[in-house]
Structure 1
Amino acid sequence: MSSIEESVLIVGAGPTGLILAHELLRRNVPVRLIEKRKGPSHTTRAMTVHARSMEMFEHMGIAHRLEEVCLQCPGNIYHFPHLPESEQPRTDYRVLPTRFAFYYKINQNDFEQVLREHLFSQYSLKPEYRTELVGLSQDAGSVEARIMRPDGTVDTRRHSWVVGCDGVRSFVRGAAGIDFPGEEVAAMAMMDVELTDVNFDDHWMNYFFDEELFMNCTKLPGRCWRIYMSEPTGALVHADDARAAFQTVADRLGIGMKIGEPEWATAWAIRNNIADRYRNGRMLICGDASHVHSPSGGQGMNGCMQDAFNLGWKLAAVFKGLAAETVLDSYERERKPIGEQITEGAMATHEIVMGFGIAPEERLHYTQEPGWEARTIQLVSGLSHNYRDVALVPPVIHAVAGPRAGERAPDALLVREPRKRLYDVFRHPRFTLLVVPGADVDSHLSAGRALRDELERRYPSQVVACLVPQGNTRMSEHPDPDRATKATASPEGRGDDTGFDFDHRVCDETGEILARYGIGPEGRLILVRPDLYVGMSCVPEEAAAMLGYLEQWFRPISGCAA
């Protein structure tokens, strides 16, 4: 029998696998990342990065690098043929409550390169290309993987866990015996190509369609444009001469552009599939291996990466013995409904632009429903994705305003100069406890300190606590010099009378955190998860409930059970 290699085997080095590797490595979990492709992709494929993903990348420390290889897109224009240009429906993302109030257009090959460079520079990890998983089995303590090397020889190793980030035809999903039911909904072709005679705004994503044809056009970074095309017969989608077929559709829709020779082109069947489950024992699936859907709205890659962002911190805790294996059940419980939401949202756009057999004027009503634009941009951007319905929170006496457990934790500008944002406070791999005192400052500070200390005792190094006082007063400047001196010389060495040192205290000078988290004179304790979702929020007087909340995620150290 082969010996156990204490590591997580990740199968597939696309965006999902790269994000998962990052989230495990930043928590000191050893990773092996294999990919059967011959080398890094040189084609674009997916090409949209939405706001919630950019918030994730800012948290990971690579948003600035992605911004260098992207183009901003304000949103989508739906070109109904019977409407004048001024009346065309739009989904304008510039109103989103985030620093990334737009979405990015990016070449996926450039995007993946940024992720690979970051993994190599930070963790010295590179994907193992031309390395294919050809056999997989498991027992109670490990998985046995048969892996074919580039020279054709097969190596057998046992790993602690395996995660299939290996796409629609996932080998891991098949080996785990997980069903992947679904249906084909249309055929689609796409190409990257240079265009001439363009007479529409290339900053936007432009949807053109009639009763039987669909085309989507937008400018990519560099020379090329991305154009998608669909029609119900498949004759044009699968035509031998792709350029001629695309030109035919563009001409019939009256777009007016001239299509050059494509850099690359492909065609495929659009499917809606979602796995029956996301885990079988020590085998898990993530990203396209667990759900696929229409590309309408460009949510696919984003949803897949968020799957990995959700799974990474949980798998790390289980791997290191900090959490029970049952914690991994929350991955499917939280992310499968999101996969279903993505499918639903994608199909809503699909029905508008690819509702073949229905006249466009009869599809217009979808865009005229009250709140259609706001719902669409919140859903597609990922900002409205949440785990409210499955969040487990201990009962409290006082209900509080603001984001609920399982909802996205909003960002907020705390200090204007030098700039400090709330998301800067969250930029680490642990839970974050925010202590926001209200009118009763001394009492709320005392409750926050006591909770911080008890969390550190029960769950060492799993929670970072930060004090967020109101205003711009330095709380260490206490009027009583004797008290200040005693605090400075305290055994904790915290250096001031708040009990929170410089790295764990930032004033809210703007009031944004009060507004975005619904905080009043009652004050607040807010526990934010490593994946930027609210875990729990309560008044300082009910701090003990937070200890109960964390019991679902981590094992308390011996002798510290509640």
Structure 2
Amino acid sequence: MELNNVKETEVLVVGAGPTGLTLACDLARRAVRTLVVEQSDTLFPGSRGKGIQPRTMEVLNDLGVLDAVLAAGGTAPVGMVWQNGVRQGERDMFERPGPTETEPYSEPWLLPQWRTQQILHQRLTELGGSVAFGTALTGITQDADAVTAELSNGTVRAAYAVAADGGRSSVRPALGIAMTGDSVDPALMLVADVRIPALDRLNWHIFPGGGSTGYLAVCPLPGTDDFQVVGQFGQGEPDISPEGVRELIAARTHLAANDVTEVLWASDFRPRAALADRFREGRVFLAGDAAHVHSPAGGQGLNTSVQDAYNLGWKLGQVLRHGAPASLLDTYEEERLPVAAQMLGLSTRIHRGQEQRGAATMQLGLGYRGGPLSFGSAGALQAGDRAPDGPLPGTRRLFDLFRGPHFTLLAVGTDAELPLLEGELVHVHRIDAYEPYGKGLFLVRPDGYVGWAGEDATGLSDYLARVTS
């Protein structure tokens, strides 16, 4: 809607990376009017954030894109260590415990970031949304009622805005929010997408280096003909030109420069860990790399970012569509800032060799126990825990019941009386006793965490009043 040449929307999302696209998809299925603006003319072209952790796979399942993600990606290959052009043996960099009834995704799924963004963008289009490419934010102000954003092609007024514009966010400094952190490693890094037909795709090839020469890793990217190359520089600065990338590979491996038939994309960076001092200023929120910047070690950055969006999306939807009090939005920072700090620490320890990749990197153990939206316990679970998956009669699973923008009230192994609930907002299901839950009532939030739990419905209506009208 246009009003005095000012476009109006409910939520302005700045940035069309994985964070912004996830948020836009979630808001679109909640019928929240959303404008996504992206300064670049196209989606990000590189593979940078290539590892999707199991918890993020669950998010993508809920958003309706898991089949596309599974079709386009693959499991991480086992590492192969090389020395002087000779294979030294395999070394797996990941724990692979195997899927269970409660955790159907049990190891990282490799998918280049550009493909993840394509899938999310396609999903957004299916939901009726779009991205305004080639549109830069040039200024942002706010008052008690809305945010006013000056764009390169006009002015937008929105009830809320979300900065999903990356580690070099223009929104964050405009809000006066500082970012605290430091370098994880003094060595510069190069990352590039290349094609090397002469190299097999059965392993993640690792060239340890030594002395002043840093390591080089060459990982095949499933669903493509590409490899991602990551190189560390103990001295000097990376040359990210195609010739420079070819020369780097030739210098550190048994391959010749002309074995690299294409250099598709390249970038350099210095690993650092930084956390915004706060994730909100009035009606503007920070999400993803705009709020926290990780070392790529352990694959936590993209995943933590997607889950920021997943946490914020349902809360904006409840406030804008279901009459929830605006104070619900305070819980975004209260829940996500501690998680981001925890994941930053994990990434840094893995980068420095102080901790190995393991269960913590899969993010299935993260939760919000003791948080502002976690009340009660029953059976085997406490409020704030991730709601486990499990089989149901026939071919359905618990995750099928949770999928969608609604809350789910599970009555597990109990005949406890339930209050009359709004069908669109809260779906109610009674199931037999199931050990991962035990017996009781469990209200599962739209983002898959138990918000409220009890042996009977005492307190349930009060909880729902906090998150609805």
| TM-score (ref. length: structure 2) | 0.89
User: What CA distance in whole angstroms lies between the structure 1 residues aligned with 2:205 and 2:54?
Assistant: 16
Cα contact 1:394–1:548 (8 A) shared by 2: no
Q: What secondary structure does 1:420 align onto?
A: coil
The code of the aligned residue for 2:276 comes to A
What are structure 2's unaligned runs of at least 5 residues? none
Cα contact 1:250–1:257 (8 A) shared by 2: no
User: What CA distance in whole angstroms lies between the structure 2 residues aligned with 1:183 and 1:347?
Assistant: 11
Aligned residues: CA RMSD: 2.9
Which residue of 2 is the match for residue 20 of structure 1?
A: 23
Higher relative contact order (CA 8 A, sep 6+): 2
Give the C-alpha shift of residue 209 in structure 1.
Answer: 5.3
Give the C-alpha shift of residue 429 in structure 1.
Answer: 0.7
Which residue of 1 is the match for residue 113 of structure 2?
A: 108
Give the C-alpha shift of residue 547 in structure 1.
Answer: 2.4
Which residue of 2 is the match for residue 465 of structure 1?
A: 428
Q: Does 1:426 align with 2:395?
A: no
Cα contact 1:197–1:256 (8 A) shared by 2: no
Which residue of 2 is the match for residue 533 of structure 1?
A: 449
The code of the aligned residue for 2:404 comes to H
Which residue of 1 is the match for residue 133 of structure 2?
A: 129
Give the C-alpha shift of residue 344 in structure 1.
Answer: 1.4
User: What CA distance in whole angstroms lies between the structure 2 residues aligned with 1:4 and 1:250?
Assistant: 54
Which residue of 2 is the match for residue 93 of structure 1?
A: 96
Which residue of 2 is the match for residue 73 of structure 1?
A: 76
User: What CA distance in whole angstroms lies between the structure 2 residues aligned with 1:92 and 1:195?
Assistant: 28
Percent identity of paired positions between Structure 1 and Structure 2: 31
Deviations 1:196-237 (A, max 9, x none): 5547842x5757454652222211132111110112223456
Q: Does 1:139 align with 2:143?
A: yes
Cα contact 1:143–1:158 (8 A) shared by 2: yes
Greater displacement, 287-296 / 109-118: 109-118
User: What CA distance in whole angstroms lies between the structure 2 residues aligned with 1:551 and 1:209?
Assistant: 59
The code of the aligned residue for 2:164 comes to C
Give the C-alpha shift of residue 86 in structure 1.
Answer: 6.5
Which residue of 1 is the match for residue 347 of structure 2?
A: 346
The code of the aligned residue for 1:119 comes to L
Q: 1:105 to 1:347 in 2, by over 3 A?
A: same
The code of the aligned residue for 2:294 comes to H
Deviations 1:394-415 (A, max 9, x none): 46xxx64423221211111123
User: What CA distance in whole angstroms lies between the structure 2 residues aligned with 1:10 and 1:316?
Assistant: 14
User: What CA distance in whole angstroms lies between the structure 1 residues aligned with 2:137 and 2:22?
Assistant: 20
User: What CA distance in whole angstroms lies between the structure 2 residues aligned with 1:198 and 1:284?
Assistant: 44
Q: 1:180 to 1:160 in 2, by over 3 A?
A: same
Q: 1:394 to 1:51 in 2, by over 3 A?
A: closer
Which residue of 2 is the match for residue 516 of structure 1?
A: 436
Cα contact 1:406–1:535 (8 A) shared by 2: yes
Which residue of 1 is the match for residue 178 of structure 2?
A: 179
The code of the aligned residue for 2:250 comes to Q
Q: What secondary structure does 2:271 align onto?
A: strand
Give the C-alpha shift of residue 77 in structure 1.
Answer: 4.2
Instruction: Pick the aligned partner of 2:364 from 353, 374, 383.
Output: 383
Q: 1:42 to 1:256 in 2, by over 3 A?
A: closer
User: What CA distance in whole angstroms lies between the structure 1 residues aligned with 2:76 and 2:122?
Assistant: 25
Q: What secondary structure does 1:288 align onto?
A: helix
User: What CA distance in whole angstroms lies between the structure 2 residues aligned with 1:145 and 1:236?
Assistant: 37
Structure number having the greater helix percentage: 1
- The structure having more radius of gyration, on CA atoms, is 1
Q: What secondary structure does 1:304 align onto?
A: helix
Which residue of 1 is the match for residue 34 of structure 2?
A: 31
Which residue of 2 is the match for residue 549 of structure 1?
A: 463
Q: 1:535 to 1:272 in 2, by over 3 A?
A: same
Show the 5 A alignment for 1:141-540: 141-149=145-153, 155-185=154-184, 186-195=187-196, 198=199, 201-202=202-203, 204=204, 206=206, 208=208, 210=210, 212=212, 213-220=214-221, 221-236=223-238, 241-250=244-253, 259-320=260-321, 322-352=323-353, 366=354, 376-394=357-375, 400-415=378-393, 417=394, 419-437=395-413, 444-445=414-415, 447-448=416-417, 450-451=418-419, 453=420, 455-456=421-422, 461-469=424-432, 514-517=434-437, 519=438, 523-539=439-455
Q: 1:422 to 1:15 in 2, by over 3 A?
A: same
Structure number having the greater strand percentage: 2
Size of the aligned set, in residue pairs, is 457
Which residue of 2 is the match for residue 482 of structure 1?
A: none
Deviations 1:252-306 (A, max 9, x none): xx99996454222221222211100111111111111101110012221111111
Give the C-alpha shift of residue 174 in structure 1.
Answer: 1.9
Deviations 1:164-219 (A, max 9, x none): 111112122122211112223342101112235547842x5757454652222211
Q: 1:88 to 1:533 in 2, by over 3 A?
A: same
| TM-score (ref. length: structure 1) | 0.75
Q: What secondary structure does 1:413 align onto?
A: coil
